[in-house]
Amino acid sequence: MYEKLRKTLIDRRQNLFPGGAENEETVKSLANAWYMFAQGRPRNHGVYKHYAADDLEELIAHFEHDLCDAAEKSDADHLTRFAQAMYILKTPDYENIWWRIESRANELASKGELNFYHVTNILRAFSRSQQNKMCAHDKTFINLEKVVLDGLSEANGRDASQLMYAYSVRNAGNPELYTAFEKKLADMKTSDLDYPTLFNAIYFMLFTQPQRDIRCENSEHEAQKNKALWHKLVSAAIEIDETLPLTYYRPFKAATVYLTKAFPEWNDKTEDRDGLNDALADKLWYSEQYFNVVKLEDKYENE
């Protein structure tokens, strides 16, 4: 079914999307179709994943100019769908499409036409695009800060954590934004900290820890705040009953390495210590077994 749809899009491109970017309805139809294709594309191709990647590259090559032109004419909703679709497809190339999306995002932001939903999903796409190589300029992230700050207090935990990751992974943004992120994290309910949210939040804490360490050296209050944030995240992870999925393993493992040195009082469980670090390490046991196997498979394929 997927292969038939892919070939239909290629063979009937001009009939399905007539008029190009000058036709407003064509732009909307292309954005919707591209997003639905990306969402419905199979995720696991097994031993045929390299063939599937080549097929995807062929499809995007046929639509490259159409996507570039349509992105430049999109409204906020459909630009967001273009960004989401390109992120979901995870193609490592086609910077020119991403450049058009970024340019249009800045243009719409200058007109005040992007809301919190648009900015969250566009920045998420930028920060994880091209197989996590990322795209867009830091200036774009700074341009969108006002929308983020205006909507952050009312955002759900998942959306807020996506923004924390998007800015911190590239060290973009002003200090006021990071202060707001830390406040939002401190105010989150433990019940809202599921594995996907923790995945982003822990990466945020790890990426920004050097700056917090400087503040902690000069202020006991900052040191206690930093410790409280880490305690909250670790406690939330331990309280989740489900096994940690392999997808979210990496930041949790990095956190155990850091926390063992940063807070040794959390290590072994005794009458005076709660043993948070040991409990978190135990949480990773099953994922670690699979991670080691997958790592060997990837090495085998690369060689």
Which pLDDT tens digit goes with each residue over 38-84?
A: 888 777 766 567 777 788 888 888 888 999 999 999 999 999 999 99
> Is residue 52 a part of any domain in this protein?
yes
| Tally of domains within the chain | 1
Q: Percentage of the chain surpassing pLDDT 90?
A: 58
* Sign of the torsion formed by the C-alpha atoms of 147, 113, 102 and 54: positive
Residue 12, in any domain of the structure: yes
How far is it, in rounded angstroms, from Cα 97 to Cα 18? 20
- Residue 260 counted as domain residue: no
pLDDT of residue 236: 94
pLDDT tens by residue, 149-165: 999 999 999 999 999 99
Angle at 60 between CA 54 and CA 63, to 5 degrees: 150
Helix (H, G, I), strand (E, B) or coil at 279: helix
The candidate with the shortest Cα–Cα distance to 18, out of 60, 84, 70, 74, is: 70
Q: Is residue 187 part of a domain?
A: no
Q: Has residue 76 been placed in a domain?
A: yes
Does a structural domain hold residue 214? no
Whether 238 maps to a domain, the answer reads: no
The answer to whether the CB of 296 falls within 8 A of the CB of 253 is no
Q: Note down the domain range covering 57.
A: 1-133
Res 303 pLDDT > 50:
no
**What pLDDT does 103 receive?**
96
Query: Band of the pLDDT at 18, cuts 50, 70, 90?
Result: confident
Cβ atoms of residues 173 and 212 within 8 Å: no
Query: Which of 241, 281, 237 lies closest to 258 in space, CA to CA?
Result: 281
**Token pair recorded at residue 91:** 């193609």
Residue whose entry in the numeric block shows the structure tokens 């409990």? 279
**Residue 166 placed within a domain:** no
